[in-house]
Structure 1
Amino acid sequence: MKKLFFSLLFLFTLTLQAQLKSPGEFIPSYGSQVSYYHQLENYFTHLTQNSDYILKKPYGYTYQERSLNVYYISTPQNLKDLENIRQNHLYQIGLLDKKPTTTVTDKAIVWLSFNVHGNEPGAAESSMNVAFELINPNNKNTKEWLENTIVILDPCLNPDGYSRYGNWLRDVTGQQLHPGLTDREHMEPWPGGRQNHYAYDLNRDWAWQTQAESQQRIRLFNEWMPMVHVDVHEMGYNEPYFFPPAAEPMHEYITQAQKDFHVAIGEMTSKRFDLKGWNYYTRERFDLFYPSYGDTYPSFNGAVGMTYEQGGIGAGRAVVMSNGNILTLQDRIDHHTEAVLTAVETASWQKDKLVKNFRQYYKDGKEGNKGKYKTYIIKNNGKTQQLAELLERNKIQFAYAKESKKLNGYSYMENGDKDFTVEPNDLIISAKQPKSILTQVLFEPAPKLTDSLSYDITAWALPYAYGVESYALKNSPKIDTKKEINYKGKLDFERAYAYYIPWNGRASARTLSCLLKSGIKVRSARKASFFRGVRIKPGDLIVLKGDNQSLYDFKNTMDMLLENKPDYEVLESGFSLEGGDLGGEYYPLLSAPRVLLLSGESVSATDFGQAWFYFDQMIEYPVSIVDVKNISRVNFSDFTTIVLVDGWYDFTEDQKSDLDNFIKDGGKVIAIGNALGIFEDRAGYNLTRFASEQDKQDEIDRKEEEALRARFMDYKNAERRSISESVPGAVVENVIDKSHPLSYGLGDKYFSLKTSDTHYQLLKDAWNVAYVPKDYISFGFIGQNLRKKLENTVTFAVEQKGSGQVIYMIDNPLFRGFWENGNLLFSNAVFLVD
């Protein structure tokens, strides 16, 4: 009987092997044409149905309702013990409290991510080949690796972008290859396939998780906490292959063990590429600093995070490179397959070292062995709750103060030590926790740069992003805490005269959106006032029963509409104890804006996406989107607000005149970044880079002197000299006019995330609502020549023209969606500025 059983098992295994197909056998055009997403999914279904070395794990859906999946790949026995392996791993690093009942052998856990950028199809295409080789019965090497390794393979992180690119490429290509650059298959149309549905770059969203794809993926990532993460990309098609070691700057929290594994990977992969004669490079680009990439975010969670880059963007199916060689889609697949499999092999080979170093990483964090600060305290307001949601998504532990206590710590807003009082409901975050390093990275005021030639923004501290009063302490004070925030009981009145809604974050804007869409008339405070039990600040919202007499049941309707804004309050009277009465001039009615957002070839796709996402998802408010090329068909009188995000608008004189008349007749234009060029130095507007002719001449003279000095400079350091005029992304202090509606709810000062060197001296005959003061505080890299120039330059201004206004935004407050105080500032521009 036993002999019969093993004979049947052997026959079953042979049957599985016979049925298992390679990608080329399963997809007819594999390697010569980009696959449809359903073909990719079908192939992985084929693998799971014909091999016991792979299991499917769905983890969510994209905005366009395409499925998101990972695949667990290992030996059948390991897959059978998968949950025990996972629980044991989390328990060992302190992310699981209860000790697992089953003991399992330690495994290396390797996560492979492909195609976070949709128009880098060689990544997703190679995921199929990598998966096949890992489970291919004829590949004995990979079977040995899987004995001590769990591979978690995500074949496509961005199915919407991948499908957008692939479907377009299918539409514009025929049977014949066109490797020449003039063919349309090398000219991807706007907005391109790189980003997701809302044109967000998902590779910059790992830590912030503004997008649904990121949120769902990181939820699963935190359930596994891999020891190695390989992020598979493509870059310009003339580039050779890039693999680790990474470039400087490396964040100071990147450990020596992580660096050593990078070197081991580099040595192993270079040997494979040397044998094939394939071009490659290491260390020159792709640093490990900004924490929201697919290599850095895993790194700050203890993993060895790595970026792999193959030349291919813009290559279509095949392209002639600058060296005369033709790069094909199959070439890109082959290069990725070799590199990624080498990463799995190295992880298997170094399994014991990986496990040991990973556990030590978390042990050091829990014991507080790294970092300057041990405790972070965030004062409670509406934005604090938004911050708490981000901490929860990242599995960063926190609590709320249950008592008052006087302390001393570093003040983020003042950039120095200060006495303060922690009060009930303040947010308390200890750095002595499993996610210690990630916590410190996200809260560090001034990250240490080892090299100023950075690939991305160089400062990002969450207290500045959220605009909340915050403190960092070098010790761990004893503070009595609780798990949840407590809202005070509502004032109890027999009648409801009005509802008060604090204007203190994204939830306020979302609530206002809901009220306006429901036909509720809303007022906004323009003066601080005090009523029984309620202190009203400028910007806070008021809903009067007298304005909404058409409501059948005012109180129940409002309670229902405000269900998701628990800090509202009911007022029994409009008579103020201090300030203005609710029916007076300091509480004007808000009108529901009718918003037009321009899109199209001349518009930055990512900046457009950030504005679209803000309206459609963040606050759920209707916005009409029109392509710039169709602007002549728009009746501007149908709108009250036009949003011009960063772009290169080539309006005709007639179109500019239409825009002028729209503003003069009471319309509002919100112009961001390069969109300000429409108004710069134009008759009737006061937007100019220099406040006087003398200032302009001084700048001309400075540039002339610099050109004369440059005659004696060497070629070698030209790149480094060029960054003296640049700012890749730094946090900059702004003085704000707290009396202007554009600044309501922002706090005492505003910290802007500056990502370009564009600057204007303070405008004349306009409201300079936020500007960079002399001797300003900043964090992150700003070129030495630019630093001085930014003093007394405007960041956000409002110019009145006729009955309307233009809101100038030199910096983008919606940058990547994570700058929460910027989201509130933009909400002010849309709803409160009139």
Structure 2
Amino acid sequence: MSFPSVFASLGRALCCCVCLSLPPITHATSLEAYLGYPLGEWHVRHDQVNGFLEKLAAENPRVSLETTGYSHERRRQLTAVITSPTNQARLDEILADRAMVKQGKAQPLLVIWLAYSIHGDEASGAHAALALAEQLAHSQESWITELLDSSVVLITPSQNPDGLDRFANWSNSYRGIAVPVADENHKEHNQNWPAGRYNHFLADLNRDWLFLRHPESRGRVALLHKWQPQYVGDFHEMGHNQSYFFQPGVPERTHPLTEKRNQQLTDKLANFYRQALDAKQQAYFSRQGFDDFFYGKGSTYPDINGAIGVLFEQASARGQVQDSQYGGISLAKAIDNQLTTSLAALKGAFQLRQELIGFQTDFYAGKGKPGKQGRLISTQGDRQRLLLLADLLSQHGVVYRYLAQDVKEGKQIFSSSDSLFIPTEQSQSVLVEALFERRTRFEDPTFYDVSGWDLGSAFNLVIVENFRPGANEISPDAPVFQQQAPAEDTVALLVDWQQSGAAPLLAQLHRDGIAVRASVKPFTPVASDRPFAAGTLMISTAQKQMTQETLLPYLTNLAGQFEVNLVPVSSFASATGIDLGSGDFVPLKPVKALLVSGRGTDATEVGEIWHYLDIEIKQGVTLVDSDRLARVNLERYTHLLLADGNYDHLDDALARKLSEFVEQGGVIVAQKRALTWLNKRTLLRNTVLEEGFYKQQFATTGLGYDEKDALRARQAIGGAILNWQLDPAHPLAFGIPSATVPVMKNEVLGLSDTGEPFVIAARYPQNPLVSGYLSGEYQRAFGLSNALLAEPKGRGVVVGATDNLLFRNIWLGTEKIYANALYLLPAAMSR
């Protein structure tokens, strides 16, 4: 029988393999009755997921619900809390006990958290979660009643509500009704850009467990720290031509901070999945393909928080049915496999509960009381970045203190307004080490994701290790924002551009029609001993839109809203440097940006730019798909933004249109592979050096076939942190307090040097590697090469960056470069 006819039969009874694995359910509202069809016949939407959980909780004393907030699109995230009625009646007591876990106090209750479909188009998990919740709520099997008497099971069916709905609507729209179509070319199996994997801002939420830049992630991590589970199951899907994967992953690619005992328990638990899948004659594999390294994923973040995290990967039908090398895959079969391993996980965790509880207890033993020595950290004058760091640490349960007074350490003054202290010894000491670790040596240089991610680089922090504060030098209280009130004789107000709140403040001022200028040279106002760097904003009190009487209260209120310090001055004269009336204070124009999306563009990087403009600096941005760009009137826009991607489908006519846009004063801001297209179309004069050029640096003569994978690993840049050496006088470097700034590099790409003066804004230093893996060949090749440029073209400019300035929206240290390209560079270069 051919694949299509096999799947046609499956399509007429899609739920049978799921239903056969469940015991009979006799209650008022079964899952099938609630949906109105057998589970798996259609892809469930998030509202159906929530609706069934609410129905289940209303009808069954074993079930209650936990809300962990809302997605960007305001979909509520629910987790089913399933345990015995007796335990349900004492959940407050149980949670009080769980709060003692980090103090190393043994808690006999087992908590298991099974979480599904963090990638919205990996939907079999969400379906299996509903079937599992129904079974646990109603089954009278002895092992389930025993499990629920001594355990709490948390089930989160949908960790990415926005992506799940995007995918469900796509798949349901294109499925065959009478005859499911298994052909991999069918539209049902090939989603349009950006696909359902991502959330609203096109972020991969399974890379956000450490960075917490999205509300879905913040809710998940809060749930983990509230319940402190000993076991976390993370259910995914992979390519349809594979079988089934569960951890352990590749042993040599486990992060060194993960205890060996963790991996030993992971392998013991795997015996339960092996047995369950063998009984169904379902092929599987482990110890290959996937690692346990980056702690920002759902299967590894638990490992650094006293739990055992386990990744499950099911072959995906990406619809109802699809041909595959394993005889075809259906949604129904995928659901059944996910349900099978979910039940096996519960059985394994229950049988090994004493070992799991013992591991968690030992993990936190002796770590409860914060020590007196640790990291002293400064955000270099940026209070907002300090508060963002503190908020991130709080969400991870990390203990920290603010400086209560200025402290001198070596030649550095650490201000109480921008510094904090993190004790090395504390309950989250291993997590703290993971957050700030810089590692450049690895047993196996193969990485499923990034090889470095330290917050010191991401936030561009100054850090002193092994600092011991005095008794009165630290405080639990955040520095209070204090605004200097402007006097009646104020002629202008100055804004230090280094502050994170300065860009959103500027965007709001432009929306309100307030004229703003920026300095392109440093200065010190008269009667002031405070110097101001290039990039400082100046708001004159003489405005067309407002009188001084209304302007000053308005500005004071706005500065408080963005927590930006306004410095009033009573004279346009300067003690040193340019006067405030100088032509070197250039007028800034409002930004009207167009972000290219759709075909060819990297969805996550488009999403990062979108998130930065919309959420972080409150700057509106127009998204236009690349296929529509030729029909758009570019005269309406000041900036055209290009994320990483393949733009080869765009033709010469569009290139001429973009060239004219720049010639007439427009700005193109492009990163990574977008530079390649610009260079090929003569929009960028500097030659882009691509992967083929750099791979010539590797000697391959005499390599055996068994060395092929090792060479491929050395030639990959999964994600390593490199330094950029900035030209501090260049407008793209305004507002950055240090001469070097770390960036995340995950693309084999560089820039040649034409020798044209005043174009290059940043280079890699001779020894660029900060953290992560970068082969010696690449380190030598990138050393002293160009990384950031601004090429004038007519009245406009093309900005090109070899790396992602906004990596996962956590790379706050280089966000200012993007803000400069939007606001300050065009004005500075038009002088």
Scaled by the length of structure 1, the TM-score of the pair is: 0.90
Percent identity, please: 24
Tell me if 1:381 matches 2:384.
Answer: no
Amino acid at match of 1:320: D
Q: Secondary structure at the match of 2:203?
A: coil
Q: Is the 8 Å Cα contact of residues 762 and 792 (structure 1) preserved in structure 2?
A: no
The 1:282/1:198 distance shift into structure 2, 3 A limit, reads same
Q: CA deviation at 1:785?
A: 2.2
2:539 alignment partner in structure 1:
543
2:457 alignment partner in structure 1:
464
1:753 alignment partner in structure 2:
744
Amino acid at match of 1:775: N
2:197 alignment partner in structure 1:
194
Tell me if 1:82 matches 2:91.
Answer: yes
How far apart, CA to CA, are the structure 2 residues paired with 1:24 and 1:345?
28
How far apart, CA to CA, are the structure 2 residues paired with 1:49 and 1:705?
64
The 1:179/1:518 distance shift into structure 2, 3 A limit, reads same
1:604 alignment partner in structure 2:
602
How far apart, CA to CA, are the structure 2 residues paired with 1:662 and 1:774?
36
1:60 alignment partner in structure 2:
69
Tell me if 1:512 matches 2:510.
Answer: no
Match of 2:212 among 200, 209, 212: 209
How far apart, CA to CA, are the structure 2 residues paired with 1:16 and 1:274?
26
How far apart, CA to CA, are the structure 2 residues paired with 1:440 and 1:705?
34
Tell me if 1:522 matches 2:516.
Answer: yes
Match of 1:343 among 326, 345, 369: 345
How far apart, CA to CA, are the structure 1 residues paired with 2:624 and 2:204?
22
How far apart, CA to CA, are the structure 2 residues paired with 1:132 and 1:764?
68
Match of 1:577 among 550, 575, 578: 575
Q: CA deviation at 1:339?
A: 0.9
How far apart, CA to CA, are the structure 1 residues paired with 2:753 and 2:144?
64
Which range is displaced more, 499-508 or 679-688?
A: 679-688
1:741 alignment partner in structure 2:
731
How far apart, CA to CA, are the structure 1 residues paired with 2:697 and 2:439?
34
Tell me if 1:666 matches 2:665.
Answer: yes
Any residues of structure 2 matched to 1:688-699 within 5 Å, and which? 688-689=687-688
How far apart, CA to CA, are the structure 2 residues paired with 1:317 and 1:530?
68
Match of 1:818 among 788, 810, 824: 810
How big is each residue's C-alpha offset from its partner over 1:595-629, in whole Å with a ceiling of 9 and x where there is no partner? 11111122111111111111111111111121111
Q: CA deviation at 1:92?
A: 3.7
Q: CA deviation at 1:809?
A: 1.2
Q: Secondary structure at the match of 1:384?
A: helix
How far apart, CA to CA, are the structure 1 residues paired with 2:282 and 2:69?
37
1:12 alignment partner in structure 2:
none
2:431 alignment partner in structure 1:
438
Q: Secondary structure at the match of 1:816?
A: helix
Q: Secondary structure at the match of 1:820?
A: coil
Tell me if 1:275 matches 2:265.
Answer: no
Tell me if 1:354 matches 2:353.
Answer: no
How far apart, CA to CA, are the structure 1 residues paired with 2:406 and 2:601?
50
Where structure 1 has 5 or more consecutive residues not aligned to the other structure, the ranges are 1-14, 409-418
How big is each residue's C-alpha offset from its partner over 1:51-81, in whole Å with a ceiling of 9 and x where there is no partner? 1111012222222222111110010111111
The 1:221/1:706 distance shift into structure 2, 3 A limit, reads closer
How big is each residue's C-alpha offset from its partner over 1:111-160, in whole Å with a ceiling of 9 and x where there is no partner? 11111100001011111111122223343321211111111111101111
How far apart, CA to CA, are the structure 2 residues paired with 1:550 and 1:373?
52
Q: CA deviation at 1:759?
A: 1.5
How far apart, CA to CA, are the structure 2 residues paired with 1:638 and 1:740?
28
How far apart, CA to CA, are the structure 2 residues paired with 1:402 and 1:105?
37
Q: Is the 8 Å Cα contact of residues 29 and 35 (structure 1) preserved in structure 2?
A: no
The 1:149/1:90 distance shift into structure 2, 3 A limit, reads same
1:553 alignment partner in structure 2:
550
Q: Is the 8 Å Cα contact of residues 655 and 681 (structure 2) preserved in structure 1?
A: no
Q: CA deviation at 1:33?
A: 2.4
Which range is displaced more, 494-503 or 649-658?
A: 494-503
Tell me if 1:256 matches 2:260.
Answer: yes
Any residues of structure 2 matched to 1:728-807 within 5 Å, and which? 728-746=718-736, 747-765=738-756, 767-807=759-799
Q: Secondary structure at the match of 1:232?
A: strand
Q: Secondary structure at the match of 1:546?
A: coil
Match of 1:73 among 60, 82, 98: 82
The 1:655/1:168 distance shift into structure 2, 3 A limit, reads same
2:706 alignment partner in structure 1:
716
How far apart, CA to CA, are the structure 2 residues paired with 1:515 and 1:607?
28
Q: Is the 8 Å Cα contact of residues 125 and 338 (structure 2) preserved in structure 1?
A: yes
How far apart, CA to CA, are the structure 1 residues paired with 2:484 and 2:682?
54
Amino acid at match of 2:558: L
The 1:803/1:18 distance shift into structure 2, 3 A limit, reads closer
Q: Is the 8 Å Cα contact of residues 762 and 786 (structure 2) preserved in structure 1?
A: yes
How big is each residue's C-alpha offset from its partner over 1:545-598, in whole Å with a ceiling of 9 and x where there is no partner? 124563451110101111122433222222212212211122111101111111
The 1:640/1:725 distance shift into structure 2, 3 A limit, reads same
1:317 alignment partner in structure 2:
320
How big is each residue's C-alpha offset from its partner over 1:59-107, in whole Å with a ceiling of 9 and x where there is no partner? 2222222211111001011111111111112124239xxx9xxxx9721
Any residues of structure 2 matched to 1:146-161 within 5 Å, and which? 146-161=148-163
Q: Secondary structure at the match of 1:496?
A: coil
Amino acid at match of 2:615: Q
The 1:618/1:530 distance shift into structure 2, 3 A limit, reads same
2:12 alignment partner in structure 1:
none
Q: Is the 8 Å Cα contact of residues 16 and 50 (structure 1) preserved in structure 2?
A: no
Q: CA deviation at 1:632?
A: 2.0
Tell me if 1:499 matches 2:493.
Answer: yes
Any residues of structure 2 matched to 1:65-214 within 5 Å, and which? 65-94=74-103, 106-175=108-177, 176-214=179-217
The 1:492/1:828 distance shift into structure 2, 3 A limit, reads closer
Q: CA deviation at 1:789?
A: 0.9
The 1:773/1:92 distance shift into structure 2, 3 A limit, reads closer
2:336 alignment partner in structure 1:
334
Q: CA deviation at 1:490?
A: 2.1
Q: CA deviation at 1:357?
A: 2.1
Which range is displaced more, 31-40 or 268-277?
A: 31-40
Q: Is the 8 Å Cα contact of residues 369 and 427 (structure 2) preserved in structure 1?
A: no
The 1:826/1:373 distance shift into structure 2, 3 A limit, reads farther
Q: CA deviation at 1:441?
A: 0.7
1:416 alignment partner in structure 2:
none
Q: CA deviation at 1:191?
A: 0.9
